[in-house]
C-alpha cells in the first residue's frame, strides 16, 4: 500500500502516507483553492446565486487557463477564416459565462475534500497514516489530483509528452526539480486511484 492506492472492501480506496506526503498534498490543495478563488461571493439569495453569470473571457493566469480551457477552441486546428475564429470566440465566451462558476465550485469542493480527509487522519506510530476514502471521496480525490497535475504541468510548461520526457532528465540542481518530482508522484497516485476505482 505505501505510495499507491488499493481497493477497500465494499468500495473506496486506501493509501499509506507519511507526514511529508500528507503535508505536500495538503499544501498543494490549499494553493489550488487560493488559485481558484472563493467563488462569486456569499449571497443571501440562493436562487440569484444559482443564476449568477460567470466570466466571459479566459483567465489571464496560464494555470487557470489550463484548468478552465475554452470550450470551442482546438489549439491544433486553425480556424478556416476570421469569421470562423470570431464565431468560436463568441461560443467559447457564452459557454464560459454559464459554466465556469459551477466548474470552479466543483474544483473547490474536491480540493476541500482532500484537505478535510487529510486533516481527519489519525497518525500511526511510524509518523504516517492510512487514508481510507469512500467511493465518493475517491472520486473527489481523483478530480483534485487531476487538477493539481494540470496546475503543476502548466507551471512547468508541459504541453506534450516531449516536454514531460525532457523534464525527467533535469539535473538535481535545476530549481524546477522539486515541482517535477511532485508532478510525477501525483501522477502515480492518480494512476493507482484510477486503477482502484475501475477494479
CA distance 86 to 100: 20
Q: Are 51 and 22 in contact (CB under 8 A)?
A: no
The reported pLDDT for the residue numbered 44 is: 60
pTM above 0.75, yes or no: yes
pLDDT block averages, 10 residues each, the chain of length 199: 81 92 96 86 57 71 88 67 76 78 92 96 80 96 97 90 80 90 93 91
Domain-by-domain residue ranges, the chain? 6-198
CA distance 66 to 109: 18
The residue count of the chain comes to 199
Helix (H, G, I), strand (E, B) or coil at 137: helix
Q: Is 37 left (phi over 0), alpha (psi -120 to 50) or beta?
A: left
Amino acid at each position: 500500500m505505501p505510495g499507491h492506492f488499493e481497493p477497500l472492501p465494499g468500495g473506496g480506496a486506501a493509501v499509506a502516507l507519511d507526514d511529508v506526503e500528507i503535508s505536500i498534498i495538503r499544501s498543494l490543495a490549499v494553493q489550488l483553492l487560493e488559485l481558484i478563488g472563493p467563488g462569486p461571493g456569499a449571497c443571501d439569495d440562493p436562487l440569484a446565486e444559482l443564476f449568477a453569470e460567470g466570466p466571459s473571457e479566459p483567465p489571464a493566469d496560464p494555470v487557470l487557463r489550463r484548468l478552465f480551457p475554452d470550450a470551442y477552441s482546438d489549439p491544433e486546428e486553425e480556424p478556416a477564416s476570421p469569421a470562423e475564429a470570431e464565431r468560436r470566440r463568441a461560443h467559447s465566451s457564452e459557454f464560459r459565462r454559464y459554466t465556469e462558476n459551477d466548474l470552479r465550485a466543483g474544483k473547490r469542493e474536491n480540493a476541500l475534500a482532500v484537505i478535510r480527509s487529510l486533516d481527519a487522519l489519525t497518525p500511526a506510530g511510524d509518523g504516517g497514516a492510512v487514508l481510507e476514502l469512500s467511493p465518493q471521496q475517491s472520486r473527489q480525490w481523483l478530480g483534485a489530483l487531476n487538477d493539481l497535475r494540470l496546475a503543476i504541468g502548466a507551471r512547468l510548461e508541459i504541453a506534450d509528452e516531449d516536454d514531460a520526457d525532457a523534464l525527467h532528465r533535469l539535473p538535481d540542481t535545476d530549481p524546477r526539480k522539486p515541482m517535477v518530482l511532485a508532478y510525477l508522484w501525483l501522477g502515480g497516485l492518480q494512476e493507482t486511484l484510477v486503477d482502484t476505482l475501475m477494479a
